[in-house]
Every structure is written in structure tokens, then in C-alpha cells.
Chains A and B, each alone.
Chain A
Amino acid sequence: MKFAAGLWAAQFRAMGSPCEVLVESPSEQRAQAVAEVVAACAARIERKFSRYRDDSVVARINGARGGPVEVDDETANLIEFTVRVHELSGGLFDITSGVLRRAWTFDGKARIPTDTQVQALLPLVGWSKVNWQRPRITLLPDMQIDFGGVGKEYAVDCALVEARRITDEPVLINFGGDLAVSGPRRDGSAWRVGVEGVTAPDASPAKLIELSMGALATSGDTYRYLSDAGKRLSHILDPRTGRPVEHAPRSITVAAPTCTQAGMFTTLAMLRGAGAEAFLRNEGVRHWIQREDADQDRSFSARE
């Protein structure tokens, strides 16, 4: 672990992102214990819910070929959470939308799928096609679910709960930009978090946010896009049409009590494309949105 400016810092990789744990403690041992508990939590959740792993619950569900799969309490709770968000968002948020990835490859090149290709996948998308009766979930053959939109944030919240179980000291958990703090720092001051800006290689973070309580989530990956006749198509797909959301901002950061909530807000705002600002303003959550204009690379809008 490294020590700098009063904080013990541990770094590791999980869920495809650089992760870090900061503990404000005079004891390296205690900080080490916290870091281990957090890393274990991240590893456990990745092993359980990653769609890339053959031994995950998600792989089991996706490979059931039309048959029912019985899941445990934690998975059931997560499913029910995503169902609730699906309802609250009018169908915009849908964990079955992953199959659309087969048509859309976001690597900056111009490989736009045809309408036929997209239409072919739409029958496999839509939570209404899933039979969910706790604790059993049944997908249609070839349907897929993935918790990519909620997994990392959920992991942060879980890890924080675990960390608070073993220590009262100030802790910050950051999984690739989705982060949460246990409370303010020892001297009452806030944690200072730099939000990545979409700027030049040698520029410092675009915004410095002071977080005393709660969590921040950022929907980043702002360079995953496709170019269609010069127009940038974002990588956020609308599950109802199978096409990229138009006018999606380059990046959204939201502050909320838990990372899961913050993550949901960023995802739902992204899915609303041009309506992202209005949505977040209406919800009354602290947010920072970066958009790409025709002339300027970024224009920042931050509202209460």
C-alpha cells in the first residue's frame, strides 16, 4: 500500500477497470484489512455477475436455452432492482439489451449495421419477454441479460458496506470512476475528486468535486463511438429501437447517496440523449454533463 497526504492507498484491477481504495488511518494494518475486504468484494461480484466468465450466474442464465434458472437471494434482489428501474424509466433501462452488441461494434470505424441486422435482433430484446418469478428466471432462447449497467456501482456500495463493518475511519472506494465515501475526512473536510475531462493529454482533470458524503458515478467511455457520415453516434443503445441514442452527452457525472443510485441516474440521463439535462434537473440531483459541440470539444453545465 502506498501512503500519501495522510491516506493509505491500495490499487488493483477488477471488472475491467483500475480500482482504488483510500483509507485515512494511522494504521497500515487496518488500511490493509479494509483494502482486502474491498478487493474481495469486487472479485466476488465480478466472479458472480460478469458476462465474460463461464462460471458466473449470468453465464448460467444466458446459457439456459429457454429453460428456467433458479437464482440466489442476492441475484434475485439485483434482478428485482433492475426490473423496478425498467418500470420507472418507461422501458429505457433494460438488462436484455446486451444482444444488440452483436450488431454494433463501437471502435470508431464506420461499421453501421443495416436495418435488417438490427431488426433481426429486436425480438431478443425486451424485459417483457422474460419470465421472472422469484427465484426462477426464464429467458427466451438466445436472449441475454447482463448487469453491466449496474454491476460496478453495486459492487462499490457492497464494498463500502463491508468496509464500514470493520472500521469507522474515512474510506473512499473507487472502481474505475464509480466511487463512494464513508463520510467526510478526519478533519471534517471533503474528499477531493477529479472528474476526467474530455481534454488534451496534458490537461489536468476538468472539474474538481468535493464529496463529503455519498457517491459519484460517471458514465464515461466517451471515446467509444461510431462515425456515420461525420456524425458521432454514441455507444448508448436504445433498447426500444435498437439504435444509438441521439444527442447523448459525452459524459455525465452524478452525485447521489449510493453509487447504485448515482449510476442509474447517469445511465437514464444518457438514454434520454438531448433530454439528459432536463431529466437530471427535474430529479434535483447534483450533476455535471459534458457535451460535444460542433465547434468546441466541451461545454460544461453543472446544476444543483
Chain B
Amino acid sequence: MKPAPFDYVRAGSLAEAHDVLAAEGSDAAILAGGQSLVPLLSMRMARPKVLIDIIHVGELGGLRVEDDAIHVGACVRQAELLAWPDLAKQPLLAQVLPWIGHWQTRARGTVCGSVALADPSAELPLVLVALGGEIVLSSKIGRRSLPANDFFTGLMSTARRDDELIEAVAFPCRRPEEGFAFREFARRHGDFAIVACAAIATKDSARLAVGGVADRPVLREFADASDDALAAFAEELAARDDLHATAEFRRNLVRRFGRITIDEARKCRA
């Protein structure tokens, strides 16, 4: 349980981080809070040649509301977002944050770091997909924005190129007449979810995002959201048996939590 050797670079600016990334490509890993990366290093599931520590890059800090979205910089820790007064502008995000890890990991772990890892059962990628958020990527040659749905490409894999880092993520603020609900099942509070469901109800439809089942968070829009429609959706989600739960148990949870969250979201809208 000791990491394999690597070089360590403490970047002083975004340009410095870009330079190292451009030179090292897939041999480099970005380190911010370290709450996901350091365990992967210790278990030797990740063996980068160089770590680029960006937590001291001032340009990557900061929370702001712009264009009806909450912009979270790469160095913003989960606890910092949770304590931010303007978080109330996106109630789903506010509801979900306390479910991520524990106080002791949220104090260090960053929002963008969890998005970068793209664990299929993590809460923040789920919320980003549910809300139709965006990921801002940048490299030495430029900057681009990707919708969450295009960013998550599979099991812990994303559309980020080796020379890019996540500069910020943007969660759309609550739009009028939207209702939200979130449920998660895990063996212990703070563990990764076995199934997590986030629902958003609008005037004419309901959206349900499901994490922990497929290889990435999956979003579906329902006109009626009947039990049959939910059951068909649960069936489509290519659930797998693993150490933690059977595929059938996961499908059951999707049907049950899907129903509960959609109903709660509708009530919360009313």
C-alpha cells in the first residue's frame, strides 16, 4: 500500500501546469485534493511518472454564478462548495453534496477531481449529467467546453485529452418550476453508491439520472414516467453482478428509487 515512485511538480500557475502536461502527456496525473488519486496511487492502480499539484494555482480557485450556472474552479474543495451561500441556487447539488464521502474527505477532496475520476457510482458526475452541466477543459493550445453527457465516455474514462486538465465545471442553476429529489443506496453512509437516483421534474416531463448501474451516469427523460416505463429503463441499463450487489437487485433499486425520486421531485415542484 505504498505508491510507486513519481516526480512531483507544484505548479505555480495554470500555464506551468499546461506546460508539464504538454510535455508528459499520459505519464502525468493532476493532483488537487488527492482524495481519489492518492488511494489509486497507494493501490498502484495508477502509476503516473509525474504528479502535477495544482492546488496552489490561484487562477483555478473560486466559485461564481455566471450565465445562470454555478461555476466551480478546479481547486474548490467539496466542503467549500457545501458552505457557500449561493449553493442554494441549485438545490439538487446542495442535497447531494453531504452524500459524498465523509466530512474528513470533503475537507480536502475537490469537486472537479471527482468529475475527472468519473467513477460510475460517484455522485458529482451524476448531478452534472442530470442537470446538463458542462466541463471546461484547457491545455497549452486552447480551451473547450463539453456537455456532461459527452464528457463521460465509459468506466472511469472521459473525453479529456492527455494534455488537458479540467479547469472548472458548471452546474446550471435551478430554473423556475423545477423540482428535485435524490436517493442513494450504499452499505454504509459515505461509501460509493450501489445505486443513486436524481430526478428533476418540470411542468411537462420528468428526468431521471441513474448512477452505479451502467458504466457511466445515464439520463432519461420521461413524458409520463409510469412504473412500466421505469421498469423498461431499468432493464436497458446493462446492470452487472459484482461483489456488492446483483444486477437484479440494482434493477429493483432503479425501479424503486426512480419512482420515489420522481414523485418527490414533482411534489417539491408543487
- Whether both chains belong to one complex is answered with no
